[in-house]
Amino acid sequence: MGLPRYVAARVVWAAVVSLVIVTITFGLMAAAPNPAVQEAATQAALEGGDPEEAVERERELRGLDEPLHVRYADFLRGVYTLNWGWSDLQNRPVSEALSEALFYTAQYSVPWTVLTLLIGPLIGVYSAANMYSWRDHLATGVAFFGYAIPNFFFGIILLLLFGVYLEWIPVVYNTDVAVFSLENARQLAIPVFVLVTGSIGAIMRVSRNESAEFRNADFMKTAKAKGVSPLRAYAYHVMRPTMVPLSTTVVGQLLAIFLGSSLLVEVVFGIPGLGRLTFDALIAQDTNLVLGTTLLFTFVAVVGNLIEDIVFTVLDPRISYDDR
């Protein structure tokens, strides 16, 4: 009892949220004219055909002549069976295009997430341990710089500096290099660096402020009185309680950057990942692909929030599962 029931309840809730979002998405799509249908009409008009007829044909072809509830049911079935339709732009199933893009996105997302999670709390706690020293001020400065500088702007500047002027890194992303190779590391170094500086700031600040509170807590005095070394005291008695409030920030921060800036960073650095795919789909008016990328990001967000909730509850022993 307890935890499993709580997790089950959160999973059900996440499913509800995803359903709501999918429904709203459907509503938005259904309420607007489909670009493909409009294009068919334009095409027909240009070729001297009957636009009305072309619209009818196209609507029938895409199943738009069905009643709304049938289309909604079809849509839901399609979404949840991962049958996300055909991408006109990529000329292959949307799911296939997405999984390939995910492969490229993961190559920079994984190191970025890991680095953020490792470095952020460490610097934050270190900053708190040396509060108001020059090291703390430096860390604070870096934190503010990191989350104030627009990622895409920072990316452009670094690309200009290291790619164009210094020629240390390739300007054009190469998809042919092996995942675990030096070339890949070189071409991903700047994007990862840009993303890390963006996400690390908030995490550093939160861990600094929270651990500052725990640093002066009575239990730190207890630990000291027990003969625990300062390093151990920080590693266990400060770091661990800091994780609790931090867990509520980390996922949100990473998600915000994943959903927003990764798109920009992929466009700037030419990485053919999910963000780039979304962008291309938007430009090419590929409805299925736009929908597919949106839904994928949405699910990532829902799952992220789910993880955040569970992690927070697991981390803080004082929270009883019945409360939330």
Tell me which residues in 51-70 interact with other proteins (CB under 8 A). Answer: none
- 79, 205, 254, 288: residue in contact with other proteins (rule CB under 8 A): 205
Q: Which is nearer to other proteins, 48 or 227 (CB)?
A: 227
Q: Which is nearer to other proteins, 92 or 240 (CB)?
A: 240
Stretch binding other proteins (CB under 8 A), from 91-99, 115-123, 179-187, 213-221: 213-221
Q: Of residues 1-20, which lie at the interface with other proteins (CB under 8 A)?
A: 13, 17, 20
Binding mask 222-251 for other proteins (x = CB under 8 A): xxxxxxxx--x---xx--xx--xx--xx--
Whether residue 159 contacts residue 264, with contact meaning beta carbons closer than 8 Å, is answered with no
CB of 130 to other proteins, least distance (A): 12
Is 322 a binder of other proteins (CB under 8 A)? no
Is 150 a binder of other proteins (CB under 8 A)? yes
Q: Which is nearer to other proteins, 49 or 193 (CB)?
A: 193
Is 156 a binder of other proteins (CB under 8 A)? yes
Whether residue 207 contacts residue 124, with contact meaning beta carbons closer than 8 Å, is answered with yes
Of 235, 183, 194, which is closest to residue 211 (Cα–Cα)? 235
- 58, 136, 210, 280: residue in contact with other proteins (rule CB under 8 A): 210
CB of 247 to other proteins, least distance (A): 10
- 78, 209, 307, 310: residue in contact with other proteins (rule CB under 8 A): 209
Q: Which tokens sit at 20? A: 């709501």
Is 254 a binder of other proteins (CB under 8 A)? no
Q: How buried is residue 319: exposed, middle or buried, by Cβ count under 10 Å (0-12/13-18/19+)?
A: middle
Is 278 a binder of other proteins (CB under 8 A)? yes
Q: What is the DSSP string of 197-258?
A: HHHHHHHHHHHHHHHHHHHTSHHHHHHHHHT--HHHIIIIIIHHHHHHHHHHHHHHHHHHHH
Phi, then psi, of 228 in degrees rounded to 5: -75, 140
Q: Of residues 79-118, which lie at the interface with other proteins (CB under 8 A)?
A: none
Whether residue 190 contacts residue 159, with contact meaning beta carbons closer than 8 Å, is answered with yes
Distances 249 to 32, 202, 246 between C-alpha atoms, Å: 36, 8, 5
Is 294 a binder of other proteins (CB under 8 A)? yes
Helix, strand and coil in the chain, % to nearest 5: 80, 0, 20
Whether residue 272 contacts residue 173, with contact meaning beta carbons closer than 8 Å, is answered with yes
- The size of the interface with other proteins (CB under 8 A), counted in residues, is 72
- 45, 160, 179, 235: residue in contact with other proteins (rule CB under 8 A): 160
Whether residue 77 contacts residue 250, with contact meaning beta carbons closer than 8 Å, is answered with no
